[in-house]
Structure 1
Amino acid sequence: MAGRVLVLGSLNVDLVTRVERHPRPGETVLGEGLRRLAGGKGANQAVAAAAAGADVAMVGCVGDDAGGAAYRARLEARGVDVSGLRTVEDTPTGHALIAVSDDGENSIVVVPGANDLLDEREVAAVDTLGPGDVLLVQLEVPRTVVCTAVRRAAGRGARVVVNTAPYAALPPDVVALADPVVANELEMAALAEAGAEPRSLLVTFGANGAAWDGATSPAVEVAADEVLDTTGAGDAFCGALAAALARGDERDTALAAALAAGADAVRREGAQADPEL
């Protein structure tokens, strides 16, 4: 029987515009259009895990605004359990300001809002996990909450997947509990510089594939003219990986599913399929 995936993390309303190229420091460029999309690493990964067939619960915070209400309804419609999603009064839902260039690259400024207010109430949701379940976390919410959740989940026998994005230093014991730590090349370098020693490290290299504890796998090839937006590729990768691990898939199978999901994500705009919020 497949386990559950519990995603503890962020939910953002993404405000997205397209630019011919990203501005240099001090420079202004014109954007084309403005879209309101569903984002936030936590919710992106929860939606990706649900799309991959997992039984998914989302744990986090939204504000008492239209964006928060819309996001709750959106996740419910996609089969994600939102009983662990708390609405915080007098606080805005998190937002991300995203500029996407003509070559598909993006720059992002995140305004955390309610994401900064996760506390022990969110950690308590981890007590529902057990062997066979997967806790998936990222670092767009308070690190103290992430660390406590990782320790508690591991203590209950659940598998923990830590995505070190956006990068922040974590205590050595938290890094060591992850199976795996998922990092891109820059995050991997930061881990090494900090002297962190993951027992299991999965490094993503974008179009060059990934390596799990040194065993490499090629990326699913995507033609340059098919790349629309790289915003959600890493989150799609992590969500599909967690879903595969909760099914009990072996490493090779889980990694192949994650790479395929990442490749599919760059072919569409926004961090989630049908992303309008």
Structure 2
Amino acid sequence: MSGIVVVGSANIDQVFRVDRIPSPGETVLSHGVSTALGGKGQNQAVAAARAGVETTFIGAVGADSFGEMVRSGLSDDAIGVAQLRTSVKPTGTALIAVDGTGENTIIVEPGANSEVAALTSADVEAISAASALVMQLEIPLATVVEAAGIAQAVGTRVILNAAPIQELPQGLLDTLDVLIVNEHEAAELARYNGLAPELDGLGERLLALVPTVIVTLGSKGASLHRAGSEEVVVPAHRVTAVDATGAGDTFCGAFAAGIVEGMLADDALRFAVAAASISVESHGAVPSIPLRAAIETRAKESGNLITD
């Protein structure tokens, strides 16, 4: 087995830069707008590929100019697109407002992403040949469940970024090797499963559901939780953030790449935190995802040295 297969969403992001995120009923003026590749699945695939791991993407785009942008962009990063479907629905689109501190608010029209269903024999073959399957929740949940079951049956590691958060069936939780969530998603998942949602000790409580849990902490870094092991916390790097869009996805793709390359989970966590720290320093989701050399340099500069 080798490489990563990402089953997930691909969007085109329309990003508006504003002084502050508008309140309900309020209109604010933008200081600029840009169009860029995005979508959690596409972001994570690009992050894994730029981190140096062979990557295949399974998803769907429309028969439109945005779909061609996605297909071309993935190919530019040497990501396999043989399983990228073309749908009668338009390519998914995200409307993003980013304020002066780098915080954002996002509205997503799924479009063709809702058509990522009924995995083909070629999809099954790709998943079965991979070292890791990476997924999110911007495509139909039934597809996520199906892909995870295929991967588990053949020993492909299953990594789920449970975002946007929703209630997950027990059958899916049972197939996961690694769950990646932010603090909000972790609390919601705890509530869905009858666990206390308080942040203190939350990652440890989620081990009742999945053997390895990672909680991303935004400007505080990330924490790693494994049954029988002490919590590992990697602090965030000190950076000037201009746009947090895609930072979590960069983290997920980089972490998966590190694991597939044989890094210990602690080192893969440090590698991922370094990658995410670089991504917030420039605008856009896919445009801000760093290459491996930059990630390694950032990790060493911070003292979070990645061991060989």
TM (norm. structure 1) is 0.93
Query: Corresponding residue for 1:103?
Result: 101
Going from structure 1 to structure 2, the CA distance change for 1:80 and 1:146 (only over 3 Å counts) comes to same
The CA distance in 1 between the partners of 2:52 and 2:247, in whole Å, is: 18
> Gaps (5+ residues) in structure 2?
194-205, 290-308
CA distance 1:256–1:274, change in 2 (3 Å)? closer
- 2:64 aligned with 1:50: no
- 2:136 corresponds to which residue? 138
Instruction: Return the letter of the residue paired with 2:231.
Output: A
- Measured in 2, the distance between the counterparts of 1:246 and 1:130 equals 14
TM-superposed CA distance for 1:217, in Å, is: 2.0
Structure showing the higher strand proportion among its residues: 1
**Is the Cα contact below 8 Å between 1:104 and 1:227 reproduced in 2?**
yes
Say which is worse superposed, 13-22 or 210-219, in terms of deviation: 210-219
Determine if contact 1:210/1:217 at 8 Å carries over to the other structure: yes
Q: How does 1:110-125 map to 2 (within 5 A)?
A: 110-121=108-119, 125=123
8 Å contact from structure 1 (residues 127, 153) kept in 2: no
Q: Deviations over 1:131-172 (max 9, x none)?
A: 761000000000000111111111111000000011011111
SS at match of 1:152: helix
Q: Is the 8 A contact 1:183 1:203 kept in 2?
A: yes
- Structure-2 separation of matches of 1:68 and 1:222: 36
2:98 pairs with 1:84: no
Is the contact between residue 206 and residue 219 of structure 1 (CA under 8 Å) also seen in structure 2?
Answer: no
Whether the aligned pair in 2 keeps the contact of 1:209 and 1:216 (CA below 8 Å) is no
Q: Separation in 1 of the partners of 2:255 and 2:235? A: 14
* Residue number among 206, 225, 238 corresponding to 2:252 in the alignment: 238
* Contact 2:40 2:136 survives alignment (8 Å): yes
Please give the TM-score of this superposition, normalised by the length of structure 2. Answer: 0.84
SS of match in other structure, 1:92: coil
Q: Which runs of 5+ in 1 are unaligned?
A: none
In 2, the alpha carbon distance for the partners of 1:204 and 1:128 equals: 29
Distance change (3 Å), C-alpha of 1:194 and 1:124: farther
* Mapped pair 1:218 → 2:234: yes
2:242 to 217, 228, 243: 228
Stretch of structure 1 that moved more, 245-254 or 117-126: 117-126
Bigger shift: residues 161-170 or 193-202: 193-202
Alignment of 1:1-277 (within 5 A): 3-89=2-88, 91-121=89-119, 125-130=123-128, 133-195=131-193, 197-213=209-225, 215-223=231-239, 226-273=240-287
CA distance in 2, matches of 1:228, 1:75: 24
Shift of 1:130: 4.0
CA distance, structure 2, for counterparts of residue 129 and residue 108 of structure 1: 30
Greater relative contact order (CA < 8 Å, ≥ 6 in sequence): 1
Task: Give the fraction of aligned pairs with identical amino acids, expressed as a percent.
Answer: 41
Alpha-carbon separation, structure 2, partners of 1:152 and 1:171: 16
Matches of 1:229 and 1:67, distance apart in 2:
22
d(CA) in 1 for partners of 2:5 and 2:68? 21
Shift of 1:274: 6.1
> 8 Å contact 2:5–2:126 — kept in the other structure?
no
Instruction: Please give the alpha-carbon distance, in whole angstroms, between the structure 1 residues aligned to 2:97 and 2:12.
Output: 14
Q: 1: distance between equivalents of 2:213 and 2:282?
A: 28
Larger deviation, residues 167-176 vs 255-264 = 167-176
Separation (CA, whole Å) in 2 of partners of 1:68 and 1:132: 25
User: Aligned partners of 2:37 and 2:126: how far apart in 1?
Assistant: 27
- Kept in 1, the 8 Å contact 2:237–2:274? The answer is no
Aligned length: 271
Moved more, 4-13 or 125-134: 125-134
Contact 1:127 1:156 in 2 (8 A): no
RMSD, aligned α-carbons:
1.7
